[in-house]
Amino acid sequence: MPTPVLPLADRYGRVATDLRVSLTDRCNLRCTYCMPPEGLPWLHGPDLLTDGEVNRLVRLAVERLGVTEVRFTGGEPLLRPGLVGIVAAAARLTPRPSLSLTTNAIGLERLAGPLAEAGLDRINISLDTLDPERFVALSHRRRLDDTLAGIAAADAAGLTPVKLNTVLIRGINDDEAAPLLGWALQRGYELRFIEQMPLDAGHTWRRDNMGTVAETLARLRAAYDLLPDPAERGGAPAETWLVAGYTLADGRPAKVGVIASVSQPFCAACDRTRLTADGAVRSCLFSREETDLRALLRGGASDDMLAERWRAAMFGKLPGHGIDNPEFLQPSRPMSAIGG
Ligand code: SAM
Ligand code: SF4
């Protein structure tokens, strides 16, 4: 008899069905809004969940906690040697969750095919600029060509429609809003702009300096006609717009998305739960508390015990991220160590 599903509900009536799994805190880029140029004190090998431990926690999230969507992230998930096997294990679960990956695409040229064969359904690739020098300024690495080759490989492997994520920083790359959209439209990729959040390792984020979605939309509207998207938004964080006059290869209207995580928070509709690379459950990107599952796992806990601890962690989820509260404190882990 299948084990009954008891979902990850919180005291505000939200139910988490979307699991973000960070597979490593390491990265081959140093995006200024995420990681300092010198890197961070990385987790030690034995502190990371093993592939078998990740597979077990993903399985119980799907089988017992009602998770229907699993996204692998990091750090840079393509740096995890066992990634293809982890995706394949998740693809064998019943009910089969939808499987996606967030990546900077460096190394995807080699891995896109194996990942698609392993059962990956969707991919989100981060691309903040098309200018090689700006790429260096934004990420401290000369790797734009590798990222572009990875994007093309994802497309060729059928991980379509390729979705691109862009963080625009005022005065740095915000003039690329329309050119990036033009580039994506030409290739049939879906582009989304994300507001920069206070998750940088240097704690330099300031609300006043943040480029807002309203500014991004104004820049896009100067070059394109954006029409309201009639599709239901549901709990999705992205607000989408149809780009008049453009269609995807399959004939559907082309869209652009904006994610106003800071200026118009969508916490009331949040359906996410997070697992860090060292096995901690976080109920929110901005949580200041974590629940360690690794010690339980390694101490011989049963699936029931692990599931119960995960549910308890999510029950205490706060109603919102509180970035606008005067007493807001940035979480101690930066984005790369939480899993974006
Ligand atoms: N390395 C992969 C990548 O860059 O796609 C996956 C991990 S990264 C932390 C996931 C996403 O978080 C990326 O799209 C990145 O742009 C975004 N991100 C990182 N720091 C951010 C911040 N402070 N505010 C908003 N988005 C951020
Ligand atoms: Fe690495 Fe992604 Fe953070 Fe950039 S955003 S430093 S690619 S983890």
Average pLDDT value for residue range 30-41:
92
Query: Does residue 205 belong to any structural domain of this protein?
Result: yes
Query: Does residue 117 belong to any structural domain of this protein?
Result: yes
Mapping DSSP onto H, E and C, the string for the chain reads CCCCCCCEECCCCCEECEEEEECCCCCCCCCCCCCCCCCCCCCCHHHCCCHHHHHHHHHHHHHHHCCCEEEEECCCHHHCCCHHHHHHHHHCCCCCCEEEEEECCCCHHHHHHHHHHHCCCEEEEECCCCCHHHHHHHHCCCCHHHHHHHHHHHHHCCCCCCEEEEECCCCCCHHHHHHHHHHHHHHCCEEEEECCCCCCCCCCCCHHHCCCHHHHHHHHHCCCCEEECCCCCCCCCCEEEEEEEEECCCCCEEEEEEECCCCCCCHHHCCEEEECCCCEEECCCCCCCCEECHHHHHCCCCHHHHHHHHHHHHHCCCCCCCCCCCCCCCCCCCHHHHCC
CATH code: domain of residue 282: 3.20.20.70
Q: How far is the CA of 102 from the centre of ligand 1 (A)?
A: 8
Q: How far is the CA of 25 from the centre of ligand 2 (A)?
A: 9
Q: Whose CA is nearest to atom 9 of ligand 1?
A: 340
Q: Which domain holds residue 27?
A: 8-338
- Ligand 2, residues 27, 79, 136: which to mutate, most atoms within 8 A of Cβ? 27
Q: pLDDT digit string (tens) for 215-259?
A: 999 999 999 999 999 887 766 788 999 999 999 877 889 999 999
Q: pLDDT digit string (tens) for 167-212?
A: 999 999 999 999 999 999 999 999 999 999 887 777 888 887 788 9
Query: Does residue 182 belong to any structural domain of this protein?
Result: yes
Q: pLDDT digit string (tens) for 56-104?
A: 999 999 999 999 999 999 999 999 999 999 999 999 999 999 999 999 9
Query: Does residue 2 belong to any structural domain of this protein?
Result: no
The CB-based long-range contact list for 242-249 (8 Å cut-off, 24+ gap) reads 243/181, 243/185, 246/185, 248/161, 248/188, 249/188
Query: Does residue 218 belong to any structural domain of this protein?
Result: yes
Index of the ligand 1 atom closest to the CA of residue 198:
23
Query: Does residue 210 belong to any structural domain of this protein?
Result: yes
pTM of the shown model: 0.95
- Ligand 2, residues 25, 26, 31: which to mutate, most atoms within 8 A of Cβ? 31
175: its two tokens: 């003039």
Per-residue model confidence (pLDDT) at position 229: 93
Domains of the chain: total: 1
Would you say the CB of residue 34 lies under 6 angstroms from ligand 2?
A: yes
Query: Does residue 3 belong to any structural domain of this protein?
Result: no
Query: Does residue 95 belong to any structural domain of this protein?
Result: yes
Would you say the CB of residue 165 lies under 6 angstroms from ligand 1?
A: yes
